[in-house]
Structure 1
Amino acid sequence: MGFHYRFAPADLLRCRFAISPRWETAEAVRVLLLPRRHAYHLPWLSRIRSAAAGLDLRPLWLLMPAKGHNPDLLSPPPSGPSVTIEEELARVRAAAGDPEAAREDLRRSLACTPGALESAIGARMLEDPARAVQELADLYERAWEALVAPHWPRLRALLEADILFHSRRLAAGGLEALFEGLHPDLRWHGGSQTLTIERPSHHDRELGGQGLLLMPSAFVWPEVVGGYDPPWQPTLVYPARGIGALWTAAAGPAPQALAGLLGRGRAEVLCALHEPASTTALAHRLGLAPSTVSAHLKALRAAGLLLAFRQGHQVLYERTPLGIALTSSAPQA
């Protein structure tokens, strides 16, 4: 039993990571459907309560069954490692070009939620699936703007840090170490070259040379999700590391001794880098102008306290061993 991804030799060379703002938006909408299951996100739920009240999310909720089919046309896997919400929603809207395929995808999903097919909303979707796709894409866009976009720098920093961590695990221990570190429900069987998600049902997916797309998610916790039937890119979505501290307030001020050595601003930037982050993410986290953070980062890097590396379209910064030692040993005032 279980969901089995079966690898051919070519697939082993084509495993890669991606971040999807559209997926995070969909899962944020799902959290609102079942908020009590997501204690980690209670601070976020409190912050977006008034914005969420202005959205009618019922059409999306009808297509999010507790068990069963979620429409692939509404959630195509990202086409690259760091796509924009505009690019992803354009792909969703393109599904309106094949109304019959859209109708069948929507019908399969609606059939998994009791009463959805017979509801006025469900019937309207199936009556004109091309219009339904456009309206659903528009609703996702409004949900993104209200629920996710204001918090995207923080979310993206978490997801990028997760990819960096697991990329290093892959480099150190290979695919077995990578897969076994993603989620407790995952099992890698090296002899048969199969990755299994432990499930009560049975499903097989031959990767067929496409490889496996790995997507960290803040809102999918505590589940790991596999899916997409051919011809879609096989994809595995897993909970990102560090979500327990995602919505917590920034740590207190930098230790006085470290501030005296480096200056208050540089010390706070150095202390805020408990995970690799970009200039924009740090500015958002600390409430500083990006230009100010950039100047501090440049000085800290020149002093040998930070390293910089490229992740997709962004430059991320992390502490060197000396930077770690300084932030770990400096006494509080």
Structure 2
Amino acid sequence: MSSQLHFDGSDLLRCRFAVSPLWETQAAVRVLARPEQHGYHLPWLRRIRDAAAGLELGPLWLLMPDGGHCPDFFSPPPVGPLASFEEEIAAVRAVDPELARQDIAASLRARPGALGSPVGQALLADPARSLRELADLLERAWEVLVAPHWPRLRALLDADVAYHSRRLAAVGFERLLGELSPRLRWSGSTLTITDTKSRHSRVLGGQGLVLMPSVFVWPATVGGFEDPWLPAVVYPARGIGGLWSEPGASTPEALARLLGRARADVLCALDEPAGTSALAHRLGLAPSSVSEHLSVLRAAGLLTSRRYGHQVLYERTPLGIALAVPE
């Protein structure tokens, strides 16, 4: 099966990237229930195992049928590129209860027996209360599963957006889609997402498309969202294979002797562009120390920097790559 998104000329002018902490939260909840998605995230699963055991995620899992509809109001595509979790969960709490009821019913129908189950009936009987309780569960999941690791996740997601923004300028929209995911196909004015577990078709009607990288969506590529939500495609972020690697694990000893251990670790941690705060969190160093190391490496011609939103992202120059990734 496949999903199709139908563009017109104005839609192409309104395509943009965004990062959603709320999407990552509900996707992390989904990963916990699906062993086939554990591969890249085993270190994370070990770290959150004890805390996750105290979460009552049953109502969320009930609404996440394998191959069926997951409520769009769980994680509507953000209006802005840098939405905070607090802003996104406030928008969930403000959803019309009747719209939430319809979304919940669609998910229950996709799971055999769920619509008539006591939990399913309770969710539908009082949608305003269900909306509050589900939002509370998502907020608790954020606090336990995602927030402690958000600087690391955000650094990877921001790096993906920065990389693919440059690729969009270099190769254009059609080629970019194939680079985002092999499941994306462009023909005429239609974007097709192949190998989906349900069929979906939507005329964008001038709203454009939100492209969202995700740490936890792998190996799937997800598209759709019904009105009134913005159309979106969620694809696996680049670099998730090294996401949970320990600081300094890839730093060559010869480079550490040349530059000093901390400075070499900073250089080697920049497999993808990242900012000072994300690097400090990942490496366990003070932001002021990381900032000093970045300044020295940049002055030596090993790094370059550019502004993205409210932060400065650093990435290795060809010389920096040659030192950090020797033949």
Instruction: Name the TM-score, length of structure 2 as normaliser.
Output: 0.94
Could you tell me how far 1:329 is from its partner in structure 2? 4.3
Instruction: Report the AA paired with residue 303 of structure 1.
Output: A
Q: Give the number of equivalent residue pairs.
A: 326
Output aligned runs, 1:148-167, within 5 Å.
148-167=146-165
Output aligned runs, 1:125-164, within 5 Å.
125-164=123-162
Offset from partner CA, 1:185-220 (integer Å, 9 cap, x none): 11111xx22111124764321111111100011111
User: Given the alignment, which residue of 177, 193, 196 partners 1:197?
Assistant: 193
Could you tell me how far 1:73 is from its partner in structure 2? 2.0
Offset from partner CA, 1:211-260 (integer Å, 9 cap, x none): 11000111110000011112321100011111111122234374454345
SS in 2 for 1:82: coil
Instruction: Report the AA paired with residue 268 of structure 1.
Output: D
Is the contact between residue 82 and residue 313 of structure 1 (CA under 8 Å) also seen in structure 2?
Answer: no
Q: Which moved more, 1:114-123 or 1:174-183?
A: 114-123
Could you tell me how far 1:308 is from its partner in structure 2? 1.2
* Residue in 1 that maps onto 2:308: 311
Output aligned runs, 1:35-114, within 5 Å.
35-95=35-95, 98-114=96-112
Is the contact between residue 25 and residue 147 of structure 1 (CA under 8 Å) also seen in structure 2?
Answer: yes
Moved >6 Å (runs of 4+): none
- Residues of 2 paired with 1:221 and 1:125: CA distance? 29
Percent identity between matched residues is 66
Instruction: Report the AA paired with residue 195 of structure 1.
Output: L
SS in 2 for 1:294: helix
Is the contact between residue 247 and residue 265 of structure 2 (CA under 8 Å) also seen in structure 1?
Answer: no
Is the contact between residue 210 and residue 233 of structure 2 (CA under 8 Å) also seen in structure 1?
Answer: yes
* Residue in 2 that maps onto 1:247: 244
Q: Does 1:263 align with 2:242?
A: no
Offset from partner CA, 1:294-323 (integer Å, 9 cap, x none): 111122222222111122232111112222
Instruction: Name the TM-score, length of structure 1 as normaliser.
Output: 0.92
- Residues of 2 paired with 1:100 and 1:227: CA distance? 20
CA 1:325 to 1:114, structure 2 compared with 1: closer, same or farther past 3 Å?
Answer: same
Q: Does 1:324 align with 2:309?
A: no
In structure 1, runs of 5+ residues without a counterpart are none
- Give me the CA root mean square deviation: 1.8
Q: Does 1:294 align with 2:287?
A: no
Could you tell me how far 1:265 is from its partner in structure 2? 2.5
- Residues of 2 paired with 1:71 and 1:255: CA distance? 46
